[in-house]
Amino acid sequence: KTFRGFLCAGAPAVLSLPHFYLGNESLWEGVAGLAPNKMEHQLFLDAEPTTGVALAAARRTQVNVIVTPVPHMKETENVREVVLPILWINESAAVGPEFIQYFWDQVVVKEKVAFGGLAALASFGGALLLLVSLWYCRRRKIPEAHSVRPEAIQVNEPPEETTPLLQSESGT
């Protein structure tokens, strides 16, 4: 992976990762002493996954010049075309252990405690819902005859006067 640009006065320049890391093998084989290494030459950003806070980062860039034979210059006719590294820049930063401990205490631990509390509340609510559902289902299964209290039976006292069951029309 290279970026072709012209840095000064028409001189051809190419930007790449250091030691042509992730570049075509012919690039780093063309120059003695280059050995691409992922851990030393990659770009990276380490971020805390929940908040996205950057904990470490590195941007590494190599400046290269394309060397070719110059027409009409006999001295350069035996020069082979090569991409020649000039310098590489390593811009990196990482937070210190004090910040990591502070961040852990103030954010990560509190987040885990809050999540634990939320899980406990959800469990309690689920258990309560289950108990209420069981109580309701059990109550519905009891027959209505057993669930209604029997009414009090009133005993009427017999009237003081008794009347015969059969009466004649004459009154006797």
Q: What is the pLDDT of residues 120-163, one digit of tens each?
A: 899 999 999 999 888 888 888 765 555 556 566 666 776 666 66
What is the reported pTM?
0.53
Residue 12 has pLDDT above 90, yes or no: no
pLDDT at 10: 66
Residue 93 has pLDDT above 60, yes or no: yes
pLDDT at 14: 85
Q: What is the DSSP string of 88-132?
A: EEEEEEE--HHHHHHHIIIIIHHHHHHHHHHHHHHHHHHHHHHHH
Mean residue pLDDT across the chain: 80
Backbone angles phi, psi at 50, to 5 degrees: -80, -45
Percent of the chain with pLDDT over 90: 17
Q: What is the pLDDT of residues 94-132, one digit of tens each?
A: 888 888 888 888 777 777 877 888 888 999 999 999 998
For 72-87, what is the mean pLDDT? Answer: 87
Check: CB of residue 81 under 8 Å from CB of residue 67. Answer: yes
